[in-house]
């Protein structure tokens, strides 16, 4: 028996037609007409039709294939022939066919509701759509890593079990930690800050946790967070890193995932716009003016929610930054603008087409007293942040950083309408199984 060949090779390789191949995979669809079973088999690379003729392989097998459930695992060998009526234009005429793992009454038949599908997520994850999205996510993760490695940033491994909040106490997940309470990390930022004093430019890719109370299209309780921090960088330096990183990731996806984007019916023109940097920058003040000009009821000082962001994204055909937010709506660690201390030197990167925030970052307060005041102002106990304050006691330097929500970026790049499909096993309120 020949070696196993991937289905995409059988469909695409030159010189393979007329030859004999062996494939293995799962039954995607099947029908029996006359004495022939037409079995569509999928593997991780594609779907191909396999023809099983009773005259060759026996009536017993064809009968069994008539009743077999979708998703049974199979092995098949046979000659590859051109077949314009088969998907992909080729099929395998089987001279060998084996059912490896039976499947009876596969519980997803099409048309089920979302809660049912989420209960069956461990099986639904095999769907073509989710598979294609995961392939794009693979490229996003790979390209993110590549970007940092190629540009001389150190990868580090911050803790997930932590003692205090970075992004607000309201979304902390407590966990029993021996005889104490710990919290699942919301962001690696404070630890990355500690690491810049030796490594200068650091990044990490970790899970972050947010106990978001409401279910939205863009919030998960557990998400993948690509974060970076660098000594000596001011806000504008870090924004350049962000736009380069995002355009690099989009470029890699366009190079490697056209097949996936086509399947997902993604209009790639807007992705192409994102290749070109710099991205537009507007200040929070301008954002408020734009919104008010469009009749949105919002006042200076209000935070921008998903609805406001959606309106703003209509003004741009590529990702764009919003900068200089009122300090009250941003975290304690952000440095204040020396020209207008009502403002924090924070920036968000918003994806166009209604998607909104994918990156949040800032320049950090490097002054000990100012940072302590901000911690108190925001209602935290500076004693919980003594170690973090130490970083300002021993050789403090200007520095900046950011966090990119991987699923947010995947959501925009793939053009999907809900963040749950950008992660195989989504976690949000009311959902922990499977
Ligand atoms: O804007 P955030 O809260 O910023 C931070 O955590 C900073 N400490 C990061 C840093 O400077 N190192 O979160 C960063 C990004 C957001 O822009 C968003 O893309 C994503 O993380 N994010 C979420 N993604 C999915 N579900 C959630 N609940 C998210 N919350 C934030
Ligand atoms: Mg944010």
Q: In the structure encoding, which two tokens stand for residue 76, read together?
A: 């098949």
CA pair distance 36, 342, nearest whole angstrom:
75
Residue 228: alpha-carbon gap to chain centroid: 17
Q: The CATH number of 7-101 is which of 2.160.10.10, 2.40.50.140, 3.30.565.10, 3.40.50.1970?
A: 2.40.50.140
Beta strand 340-351 with 356-363 is antiparallel
Per-domain boundaries in the chain: 7-101, 119-422
Mean pLDDT on 267-296: 98
- 110, 73, 78: which is closest to 95 by C-alpha? 78
Mean pLDDT on 320-325: 98
> Using a 6 Å cutoff on CB, does residue 405 contact ligand 1?
yes
- 113, 204, 107, 121: which is closest to 428 by C-alpha? 121
pLDDT digits (tens, 9 = 90+) for 104-120: 999 999 999 999 999 99
Band (3; pLDDT cuts 50, 70, 90): confident
The CA-to-CA distance between both ends of the chain, in Å, stands at 39
Q: How far is the CA of 403 from the centre of ligand 1 (A)?
A: 6
Q: Which residues pair with 49 in a beta bridge?
A: 40, 91
pLDDT digits (tens, 9 = 90+) for 206-258: 999 999 998 899 999 999 999 999 999 999 999 999 999 999 999 999 999 99
The residue nearest atom 7 of ligand 1, judged by CA position, is: 403
Amino acid 214: pLDDT: 87
> Using a 6 Å cutoff on CB, does residue 326 contact ligand 1?
no
How many CA atoms does the CB half-sphere of 370 hold within 13 Å? 15
> Using a 6 Å cutoff on CB, does residue 189 contact ligand 1?
yes
The residue nearest atom 17 of ligand 1, judged by CA position, is: 359
Residue 92 CB coordination number (10 Å): 28
Q: Architecture of domain 119-422 in CATH? A: 2-Layer Sandwich (3.30)
pLDDT digits (tens, 9 = 90+) for 117-150: 999 999 999 999 999 999 999 999 999 999 999 9
pLDDT higher than threshold 60 for residue 191: yes
Band (343; pLDDT cuts 50, 70, 90): very high
Amino acid 198: pLDDT: 98
Residues 6+ apart with CB under 8 A from 210: 167, 171, 173, 186, 219, 220, 221, 223
Give the 3-state DSSP-derived string for 365-387, with helices as H, strands as E and coil as C: CCCHHHHHHHHHHCCCCHHHHHH
Q: Which ligand has an atom closest to residue 404 CA?
A: 1
- 66, 61, 62, 72: which is closest to 24 by C-alpha? 72
Mean pLDDT on 165-187: 95
The residue nearest atom 28 of ligand 1, judged by CA position, is: 219
Band (192; pLDDT cuts 50, 70, 90): very high
Amino acid 2: pLDDT: 58
Beta strand 320-326 with 281-283 is parallel
Q: Which ligand has an atom closest to residue 403 CA?
A: 1
């Amino acid at each position: 028996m020949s070696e196993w060949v991937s289905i995409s090779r059988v469909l695409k390789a030159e010189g393979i037609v007329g030859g004999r191949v062996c494939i293995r995979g799962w039954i995607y669809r099947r029908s029996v007409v006359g004495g022939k079973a037409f079995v569509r088999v999928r593997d991780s690379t594609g779907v191909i039709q396999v023809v099983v003729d009773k005259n060759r392989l026996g009536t017993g097998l064809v009968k069994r294939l008539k009743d077999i459930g979708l998703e049974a695992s199979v092995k098949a060998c046979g000659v590859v022939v051109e077949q314009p009526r088969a998907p992909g234009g080729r099929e395998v005429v089987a001279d060998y066919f084996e059912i490896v793992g039976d499947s009876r009454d596969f519980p997803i038949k099409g048309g089920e509701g979302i809660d049912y599908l989420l209960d069956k997520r461990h099986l639904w994850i095999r769907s073509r759509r989710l598979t294609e999205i995961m392939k794009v996510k693979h490229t996003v993760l790979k390209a993110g890593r590549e970007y940092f490695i190629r540009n001389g940033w150190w990868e580090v491994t911050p803790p997930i079990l932590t003692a205090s909040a970075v992004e607000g106490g309201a979304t902390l997940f407590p966990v029993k930690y021996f005889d104490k309470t710990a919290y699942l990390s919301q962001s690696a930022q404070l630890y990355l800050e500690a690491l810049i004093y030796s490594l200068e430019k650091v990044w990490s890719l970790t899970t972050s946790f947010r106990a978001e109370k409401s279910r939205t299209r863009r919030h998960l309780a557990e998400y993948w967070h690509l974060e970076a921090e660098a000594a000596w960088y001011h806000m504008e330096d870090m924004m350049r890193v962000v736009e380069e990183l995002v355009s690099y990731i989009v470029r890699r996806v366009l190079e490697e995932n056209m097949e996936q984007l086509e399947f997902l019916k993604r209009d790639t023109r807007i992705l192409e716009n994102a290749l070109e940097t710099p991205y537009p920058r507007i200040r929070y003040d301008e954002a408020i003016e734009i919104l008010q000009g469009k009749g949105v009821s919002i006042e200076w000082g209000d935070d921008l929610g998903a609805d406001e962001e959606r309106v703003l994204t209509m003004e741009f055909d590529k990702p764009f930054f919003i900068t200089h937010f009122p300090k009250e709506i941003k975290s304690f660690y952000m440095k204040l603008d020396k020209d207008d201390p009502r403002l924090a030197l924070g920036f968000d990167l918003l994806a166009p087409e209604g998607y909104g925030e994918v990156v949040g970052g800032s320049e950090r307060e490097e002054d000990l007293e100012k940072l302590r005041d901000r911690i108190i102002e925001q209602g935290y106990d500076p004693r919980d942040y003594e170690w973090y304050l130490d970083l300002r006691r021993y050789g403090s330097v200007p520095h900046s950083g950011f966090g990119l929500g991987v699923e947010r970026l995947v959501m925009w790049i793939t053009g999907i309408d809900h963040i749950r499909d950008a992660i195989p096993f989504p976690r949000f309120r009311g959902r922990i199984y499977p």
